[in-house]
Amino acid sequence: MTDSVVQLERASLRFSGRSIWSDLSVSVPRGEFLVVIGPNGTGKTSLLRVLLGLQPPTGGSVLVHGHAPRRGDPAIGYVPQQRAFDPELPLRGRDLVLMGLDGHRWGISLNDRANRVRVDRILALVGAQSYADTPIGWLSGGEQQRLRIAQALVGDPSLLLCDEPLLSLDLHSQQVIVQLIARWGREHGATVIFVTHDVNPVMSVADRILLLAGARWGIGTVDRMMTSAALSRLYGTPVDVVQHAGRIAVLGADLGGHDPVAARTEDGR
């Protein structure tokens, strides 16, 4: 238990009287790749906000690295949803990454050599050097998201929180991003909590899946969780999990695992 990076005990979250999740008890060990799935409105993003110290839990206890979540914890890296930048925004990839290192500090930055070296190193790691000086709004979604990963990793976090980082990315970019994050986790012993609505891109790297389903929640390995029996029990309605050609489709529930093309039209993207 001492090795838990994130520990929730009977934690609950309510918004204006409505329960989002309750009695959530999860212990995430060091180095685990935990995937969080669940229908919209079940508090996946809120869970990340609680861990980031932006939202206090309503009940129970939440510990990150053994203490209550702290705002701006330097040990946490955060990757948000891909959100396109304005093409005219005067910001280059390397500026975005540098902000992950010193953007929260007061004052102006003088030309800090050590920081520049760190930024260059992380840009190389994610393979984004060739477009690091291009205005960020001119880049593709996949390229922007690689820079997001670099921004989250440049502070050398031991816990990486990813909020739907694959949304609106093509299949190839999804794989690139997942592999980058998983490799970082393996090589640095870092813990990854990865919120997604489609389990397929992360099935090969996920250690466990946490499913938030409103009143109920469940956690387990991919094989244990992604079964008709497990999902039917959590949702309280009959759900079918179909495996085909290494992909999972969930029928009868508002949850990932759709055919990716169908999922994209559903998102209206």
**CB-nearer residue toward another protein: 105 or 244:** 105
Closest-CA residue to 92 (of 125, 119, 110): 119
Q: Which residues bind another protein (CB under 8 A)?
A: 52-54, 70-73, 76, 78, 80-81, 83, 85, 88-92, 95-96, 99-100, 102-109, 133-136, 148, 151-152, 161
Q: Are strands 191-195 and 216-220 parallel, antiparallel or unpaired?
A: unpaired
To 5 degrees, how large is the angle CA 143–CA 148–CA 151? Answer: 130
Least separation in angstroms between residue 68's CB and another protein is 14
**CB-nearer residue toward another protein: 83 or 186:** 83
Least separation in angstroms between residue 35's CB and another protein is 20
Least separation in angstroms between residue 240's CB and another protein is 36
Q: Where would I find the beta strands (DSSP E) of the chain?
A: 4-15, 18-29, 33-37, 59-64, 76-79, 159-163, 191-195, 208-213, 216-220, 240-244, 247-251
**CB-nearer residue toward another protein: 101 or 255:** 101
Least separation in angstroms between residue 117's CB and another protein is 19
CA distance 182 to 175: 10
Which backbone phi and psi does 210 adopt, to 5 degrees? -105, 120
Least separation in angstroms between residue 80's CB and another protein is 4
**CB-nearer residue toward another protein: 104 or 186:** 104
**CB-nearer residue toward another protein: 55 or 227:** 55
Which backbone phi and psi does 4 adopt, to 5 degrees? -70, 130
